[in-house]
Amino acid sequence: MPCLHEISLKSINLPWSSLRGLTSLSLTQCSDSDATSSPPTFEGLLRMLSSSPQLESLKLDCLIPPPISEQHYPTVALPHLICISIRDPVDQCGALLAHLCLPDTARVELTPWFVRSGVDVRNLLIPVPKHAPPPAPPPPPSSKSSAMTTIHRTTSPPSLFTPNALLSLTSHPHTEHALRQIMAKVFKALPCERITHLDTRSAPRLSEVSWTAALRFLPALETVYLQCSAGTGACKVLRTLLDIERGPPAERGSRPRVRCINLLVIMWDRGGDGDSIEDLLGLLVQFLQLRRCRCWRSTTG
């Protein structure tokens, strides 16, 4: 089928060597039927990818064979790739990333298995920085001292409003302390001055201690996404941002200067425990007033 350019398969074994000249490839649990007498090889996977240099979209799920230790493998260039999604054991994810050459603008989504502590993510983070997004251009001078709030009222899934992250890493720690270990290693490995957006909507149970630990690594943070419903932790994030804004002036240069807060309002159970919508609005007003006061002082000298 020489005119076939997009293919998506699940749980179907096929000859990997038959996949070539594609622009979109999605494989889930698809073993290499050419390797009948032995399991698929990491070299065979790289050979399959190199036969489609025009790939724009790539998704591999439960597919990457483990590489042979100390064996040399070629690097595969995919200069047209727009997005790549990998879901496999953490060592295989790291090995594949180490042997791919991607454009700076490619979106990378990683869902590695068995990442439950900072030690588990260490080898994966070696190739990740080279796939990090390029430095974001500085905001216009007129917008540095502004604070904006956007409110969505919807019953749609939050993922519909998730920004197009250039690098997304999923982990599965057993404790919040383990998550902070993972975050610390990730942020230390990445050029954090390039991270400008933070989506907090998938982490409703994190404490203010964890948010403080995360935000101190993000000096370039400009936009925060919050989900406003009972028990989602939006108030914890706002309290953390307020504590940062009220911090000592000596730390001002290393603190994130959030300029945009997006609120996704789904439903609020007035009879539930925890923070109320009034609590959230009160914190939001305090944050905006504090930012406005700071901006006025910096403008007037």
Among 133-137, 236-240, 262-266, which range has the highest average pLDDT? 236-240
Angle, helices 208-215 vs 176-189, to 10°: value is: 10
Confidence of residue 79 (pLDDT cuts 50, 70, 90): very high
**DSSP-derived 3-state class of residue 277:** helix
Q: Which residue has the higher pLDDT, 226 or 26?
A: 26
pLDDT of amino acid 96: 95
Q: Which residue has the higher pLDDT, 293 or 157?
A: 293
State the Cα–Cα distance between residues 13 and 31, nearest whole angstrom: 5
State the Cα–Cα distance between residues 86 and 103, nearest whole angstrom: 17
Q: Is the pLDDT of residue 120 over 80?
A: yes
User: CATH number, domain at 238?
Assistant: 3.40.50
Domain-embedded: residue 199: yes
Q: What is the mean pLDDT of the chain?
A: 79
Closest CA to 259 of 285, 296, 221, 233: 221
Q: What percent of the chain has pLDDT over 90?
A: 30
State the Cα–Cα distance between residues 286 and 245, nearest whole angstrom: 10
Domain-embedded: residue 201: yes
Domain-embedded: residue 83: no
Mean pLDDT of 84-103: 93
Is residue 7 within a helix (H) or strand (E), and if so which, with residue range?
Answer: strand 6-10
Domain-embedded: residue 222: yes
Is residue 86 within a helix (H) or strand (E), and if so which, with residue range?
Answer: strand 83-87
Confidence of residue 42 (pLDDT cuts 50, 70, 90): very high
Q: Is the pLDDT of residue 182 over 50?
A: yes
Domain-embedded: residue 52: no
Is residue 226 within a helix (H) or strand (E), and if so which, with residue range?
Answer: strand 223-228
Mean pLDDT of 135-157: 45
pLDDT of amino acid 201: 79
Q: Which residue has the higher pLDDT, 153 or 186?
A: 186
pTM: 0.71
Domain-embedded: residue 24: no
As a whole number of Å, the end-to-end CA separation of the chain is 69
Q: Which residue has the higher pLDDT, 195 or 186?
A: 186
Confidence of residue 157 (pLDDT cuts 50, 70, 90): very low
Domain-embedded: residue 57: no
The letter for the amino acid at 40 is P
Q: Is the pLDDT of residue 71 over 80?
A: yes
Q: Say which residues have a Cβ less than 8 Å from residue 118's Cβ, sequence separation at least 6.
A: 178, 181, 182, 184, 185
Helices (H), the chain: 42-50, 90-98, 176-189, 208-215, 234-245, 277-300
Domain-embedded: residue 231: yes
Q: Which residue has the higher pLDDT, 226 or 65?
A: 65
pLDDT of amino acid 253: 56
Q: Is the pLDDT of residue 156 over 60?
A: no
Confidence of residue 293 (pLDDT cuts 50, 70, 90): low
The tally of domains found in the chain comes to: 1
pLDDT of amino acid 251: 62
pLDDT tens for each residue of 53-67:
999 999 999 999 999
Among 87-91, 223-227, 238-242, 252-256, name the one with the lowest average pLDDT. 252-256
Q: Is the pLDDT of residue 212 over 70?
A: yes
Confidence of residue 200 (pLDDT cuts 50, 70, 90): confident
State the Cα–Cα distance between residues 32 and 93, nearest whole angstrom: 18
For 236, the domain range is 138-164+195-301
pLDDT of amino acid 223: 87
Cβ-count burial 111-143 (b if 16+ within 10 Å, e if not): bbbebbbbebbeebbebbeebbbeeeeeeeeee
Closest CA to 214 of 170, 179, 246: 179
